[in-house]
Structure 1
């Protein structure tokens, strides 16, 4: 593995230990609300601190963009780490075992390395640009599903910004009528990792944050899939809108998005 991936996996494992510890001591957590249906606890903060400390030990001058602490430092030689210490906090607080740690490295504006770790299943997804995608060191590929009718998709529901809910529901209704099923598990990072390894055939969601999707996007691309914004471009980290699948299924998903989501909500 690339040295930066080794650092990211080490950081993810350390954060995973913290998350597993608190999973057994939920009653000891102090929970704060950052907004409607948007929560944070000391486990998010401690896991993020552990990740940042590990990175700083090897690269004290690299820039960091993290969910809880925001942006730190200026890009050193164009390198920036993008961190979500606990993607699926609501699941975690309800002891619903679907959450993950997401770490990506962007160099000169391009995603280069990715790690997504599921601490409950001890599954480590890794990727480096041009080197393929792996689950626990085993190469993974997106599914070969060709038809939307037989596909299993994943998504995420709006939970705090409902300004685009009608557009989302229109796309959801269309996909619900044309697929074998839709799953909403509550961790976008893991959903994207599952696209990369073929557990689900495709994914779409509105209004995500860069730390939710940066690592997952690279995983999917390195696993042979496509991941774009709703206009088929590369603006997903800014828009927060993303759709992903294998190349054949992607075209069918893009058609549905184009027919159900107005242009102002695809921007």
Structure 2
């Protein structure tokens, strides 16, 4: 497994380098499900390169990825989960605050995850049997503190409508941040700077963070408190296990 993780680190770093080299290329911007759900030829090329490298090295492994309809079930066999550019809107508009994310599963069990904050050159990796690192620094588990000393992050839509009591919860925290990228949000949780993240997410958005977060005292669940289905978009949270019960009191009030 260590060799597979080292291979994953290599191809994710190569993907980031490719993006930086082509950062000023003209983009062909396409809409998927709506005006803010964008994809570019860079997303497609980065995913194509990652898939080709994985399948060349591990020809029997399967792929679950954001683009091109690659949807092998995570519960069956050896499966790589890929988000080639998480935060495409940030990538298009400001050329920063986006990430390359990869996770690896065997028979539905997460073995390791990687989140690469491309423009800050920060690679988060590990989980499963591996410690979690940011570049060469091993990250430490969550240390419980009062809500009013901690920041949280969500998305604008949830905050605008106070869905699931997001604003109410945020008022009990030190403040609310919005980053526009699941990968960037998760990386800040893993680093210890953010308490929790709430948003509507696909499996490729949260798979890597779920594996790494487990090692550091966090859990990824849907907002009903159940395990994610790893198939469709759901309202998802990543929260410290030590704060789950307290946070759920706000979610239940907001839902009701």
CA contact 1:193–1:220 (8 Å) conserved in 2: no
Note the C-alpha offset of 1:246: 2.3
Residue number in structure 2 paired with 1:33: 31
- Which of 207, 211, 234 matches 2:227? 234
Partner residue, 1:55: 54
Residue pair 1:87, 1:99 contacting (<8 A) in 2 also: yes
Supply the distance in 2 between the matched residues of 1:236 and 1:72 (Cα, whole angstroms): 13
The two structures have a TM-score, normalised by structure 2, of: 0.90
1:148 and 1:252 in contact (8 A); partners too: no
Give the drift of 1:237. 2.8
* Residue aligned with 2:145, SS: coil
Q: Which runs of 5+ in 2 are unaligned?
A: none
Q: What is the Cα deviation at residue 7 of structure 1? A: 1.9
Q: CA deviation at 1:249?
A: 2.3
Deviation of the 1:96 alpha carbon: 4.7
**1:132 aligns to what SS in structure 2?**
strand
| Structure 1 residue 165 displacement after superposition | 7.0
Structure 1 residue runs of 5 or longer lacking an equivalent are 263-267
Deviation at 1:73, TM superposition (A): 6.2
Give RMSD over aligned pairs.
Answer: 2.3
Cα 1:32/1:177, change in 2 over 3 Å: same
**What's 2:246 paired with?**
252
Superposed displacement of residue 75, structure 1: 7.7
Deviation at 1:140, TM superposition (A): 0.7
Structure 2 SS opposite 1:111: strand
Shift of 1:76: 11
CA contact (8 A) 2:72 2:79 kept: no
State the distance in 2 between where 1:18 and 1:187 align: 20
Q: Give runs of ≥4 in structure 1 deviating > 3 Å.
A: 72-77, 164-167
Question: Does structure 2 retain, via aligned residues, the 8 Å contact 1:78–1:107?
Answer: yes
The 2-side partners of 1:47 and 1:34 are apart by 18
* CA distances 1:27-58 after superposition (whole Å, capped 9, x unpaired): x1111111211111111011111111211121
Deviations 1:108-135 (A, max 9, x none): 1121110111111111111131322111
Residues matched between the structures, number? 254
State the alpha-carbon separation in 2 of the partners of residues 147 and 90 from structure 1: 33
